[in-house]
Amino acid sequence: MTGSARVLVAEPVLGEDEAAALGRVIHSNWITMGDQVRTFESAFAACHGADDAVAVNSCTSGLHLALDALDIGERDEVIVPSLSFVATANSVVYTGARPVLVDIESLETPLISIRAAEAACSNRTRAVVVMHYAGAVVDAQAWRDFARRHGLYLIEDSAHAVGRARGPIFGDIAVFSFYGNKNMTTAEGGMIIAPDPTLLARMRSARAHGMTSTTSERLHARAATYDVRSLGYNYRMSELNAALGIVQLQKLDDRNEQRHILVQAYQRVLQYQRNGLIVPLVGHMPSSHHILPILLPAGTDRARVMGALHDRGIQTTIHYPPIHQLTWYRDRYPGVSLPITEEFAERELTLPLHPKLSLQQIGMISDALREVLALEPCPEGQL
């Protein structure tokens, strides 16, 4: 294979079930904030052992609503991992608070470090956001203890970790993503779970301008008006997105299991490739196995490797440029040094991982990587 990459890093799995669900919504002529959204919320909550959930139009808006509902604002600080998508920190900035970016545990375990978080705490710290990188869930008990010890709110950025495979919710609030490259997708969308029903109700109101009733509720109640008792936002999910979510959720357990099988295959073939290549998170559980990150040998020209794999028909990408090194954050929060995150991000390469991938393709990807890096071959029969 040459030219455009034919094995993609991520692919949504969509088919006739999703098309039929969208068709039903279109034929119903009710396309926003109706029965589909409510059904999706209830089903998603049940899947994660919760009583209820609030659907939103993105994980980013969900994170913003979470911080807003906890009354986090100016002069407050929120501890955030720098190894994450920029939205994790942006949501803190939206509230007027300061994101305090911290390091990861190690190259092998690229999850937010408790030791780094301890050092970052101040008398202004109000919350910590833990991000389940690659779908690998952080140590729930350790982070609950940390939050309790410092009197902090604990928020889970669970954009990478979804479904029963990730285990129970343990934070004050957990926020999920359904972007097109996630384990399940609604094209765009997110979900919020919080054990406290009062907190959840506050976020439900805030996602729709702080209004006291929805269009659907006013229609069925024959009421013509509403009130606004708090500041809100336009973070609603449409019926079309929710219809996709209902179908995708029904298939999530099986697809997460497929991801697990594919990750195990990758780990078997890649663990034999020495000369400095690292496969993080081997054996880490629980995990939803969202992406497959590897670390190239130190000093490797990553751009050359990505180009060579692309020429062989294999797409790769990077997760993530450290937030503290992005221009907007570097200009406003200068002097941040996070050596483990920086080395990880400099060497990281994300390989294809999605349910459409076959074991044969994993073998082909491994062989191509070995050839490009001149690594040791995998012993026969290891895949």
pTM, two decimals, is 0.94
The pLDDT value given to residue 377: 62
**For residue 188, with 0-12 CB atoms within 10 Å meaning exposed, 13-18 middle and 19 or more buried, which class applies?**
middle
Instruction: Identify the domain containing residue 231 by its residue range.
Output: 16-250
For residue 308, give both structure tokens.
């060579």
162, 285: one domain: no
Is 133 within 8 Å of 292 (Cβ atoms)?
no
Span 158-167, pLDDT tens digits: 999 999 999 9
Q: Do 330 and 237 share a domain, yes or no?
A: no
Domain contains 379: no
Helix axes 239-250, 35-47, angle to 10 degrees: 30
CATH number at residue 30: 3.40.640.10
Is 268 found in the same domain as 238?
A: no
Same domain for 215 and 278? no
Strand order in the sheet with 173-177: 54-56, 190-193, 173-177, 153-157, 125-131, 77-81, 98-102
Which of 202, 229, 250 marks a domain boundary?
250
Same domain, 290 and 157: no
Amino acid at 328: W
Confidence of residue 115 (pLDDT cuts 50, 70, 90): very high
Residues 75 and 59 in one domain: yes
Mean pLDDT score, 140-149: 98
| Pair 213, 232 in one domain | yes
- Asked whether the beta carbons of 332 and 22 are under 8 A apart, the reply is no
Q: How many domains does the chain have?
A: 2
Is 270 a domain residue? Answer: yes
Q: Tell me which residue of 9, 14, 15, 1 sits closest to 262, measured CA to CA.
A: 9
Position 356 in a domain: yes
Is 182 known to be catalytic?
Answer: yes
Q: Output the pLDDT for position 272.
A: 59
228 and 297 part of one domain = no
182 within some domain:
yes
- Shared domain for 232 and 261, answered yes or no, is no
Name the nearest CA neighbour of 184 among 157, 159, 155, 204. 159
Examine residue 380 and state whether it is found in any structural domain, yes or no: no
Same domain, yes or no: 23 and 123: yes
Among 215, 250, 285, the domain boundary falls at 250
Looking at the domain assignment, is residue 294 inside a domain?
yes
Low-confidence winner among 22-26, 218-222, 345-349 (lowest mean pLDDT): 218-222
Specify whether 89 is located in the same domain as 196.
Answer: yes
User: Is 5 contained in some domain?
Assistant: no
Q: Of these residues, 98, 166, 182, 324, which one is catalytic?
A: 182
End of a domain among 235, 250, 265?
A: 250
> Is residue 219 predicted with pLDDT exceeding 70?
no
CA pair distance 95, 111, nearest whole angstrom: 24
Q: Is 80 exceeded by the pLDDT of residue 381?
A: no
Please tell me whether residues 271 and 213 are part of one structural domain: no
